[in-house]
Amino acid sequence: MPDYDGAVVLAAIRTIQAATTSDAVISVLGQFIERYGFERIFLGQLVNPANVPLKDILYISDWPDELKAERERRMAILHDPIAIGALRSKRPFSWAEARRHATHAGRQVMDSVHDHGITDGMMFPMHALHSVSGGVSLGACGGLDLSLTHIAELEIVCQTAYYHLEGLLGPFPYQRVAELTVRETECVQFAAAGKTNWEIAKILGIQEDTVKKTLRRASDKLGAVNRAHLVASAIAKSQIFP
């Protein structure tokens, strides 16, 4: 494992930022991660494939074509503990750590990756304002021995590659995050706490009909079809506290 070399990290960052194609970005990232024992890259935005087709998201992977096709067919991301962990975590984590919290279906998803020789890895979650969550998942065909410094080096270069690609290939059609007004946020926040429209009206000192209209506007902004969907969407898009 290489010792810390700030010049190598800085050179990778500068080369990625100067790249004008996705292939060039991935080439630099691929060369950089080899120093740490990684061989595969899965980089993309984390969205429900039943709602958003792959052509409309940031999605780049050098995994085997057979494995990619299998995952797309099974909508594996919906059960993948690594993807789920990236939605919930702000810090990098190992695939082994994700597996410890996996459901039976989630372990099957990970096993299918292992069956293709990608046996270990790290996920680097990506979260930014005005964008959906994503991640850079690095795979290895053998064991890994990473220090906290190594992980920090990898994280900053992965972040550079991810956000450069998002800017290079975007904007994506769903990427703008609708901003709720203060009143809309208040009403949705109380709805998330299980309050009825009548209770919200009493708490805020407004008419119950005003609450209904406010929640309807918030639903329209977030593309929600009902109250539960509105709350879930507002939490997912960081519009309210969970």
Residue 200 has a pLDDT of 97
Half-sphere exposure (Cβ direction) of 79: Cα atoms closer than 13 Å: 16
Q: Read off the pLDDT of residues 97-156 as tens digits, 9 standing for 90 and up.
A: 999 999 999 999 999 999 999 999 999 999 987 778 999 999 999 989 999 999 999 999
Q: pLDDT category, 239, cuts 50, 70, 90?
A: confident
Structure tokens at 51: 């709602």
Residue 34 has a pLDDT of 96
- In the chain the first and final C-alpha atoms are separated, in Å, by 40
Residue 124 has a pLDDT of 98
CB atoms within 10 A of CB 240: 22
Helices of type H across 89-127 = 95-100, 104-114
Handedness of CA 111, 117, 120, 126 (dihedral sign): negative
Residue 198 has a pLDDT of 97
Domains by residue range for the chain, with CATH: 6-169 (3.30.450.80), 182-236 (1.10.10.10)
CB atoms within 10 A of CB 5: 11
Q: Compute the distance between CA of residue 140 and CA of residue 25 in angstroms, rounded to an integer.
A: 19
Q: Compute the distance between CA of residue 57 and CA of residue 129 in angstroms, rounded to an integer.
A: 17
Residue 176 has a pLDDT of 65
What is this structure's pTM? 0.79
Phi, psi of 123 (to 5 degrees): -110, 135
Residue 158 has a pLDDT of 98
CA torsion, points 225, 227, 230, 234, in degrees to nearest 10? 180
Helices of type H across the chain = 6-18, 22-34, 65-74, 81-88, 95-100, 104-114, 148-169, 182-192, 197-204, 208-222, 227-236
The region that residue 239 occupies, defined by phi over 0 for left and psi between -120 and 50 for alpha, beta otherwise, is alpha
**What is the average per-residue pLDDT within 62-77?**
94
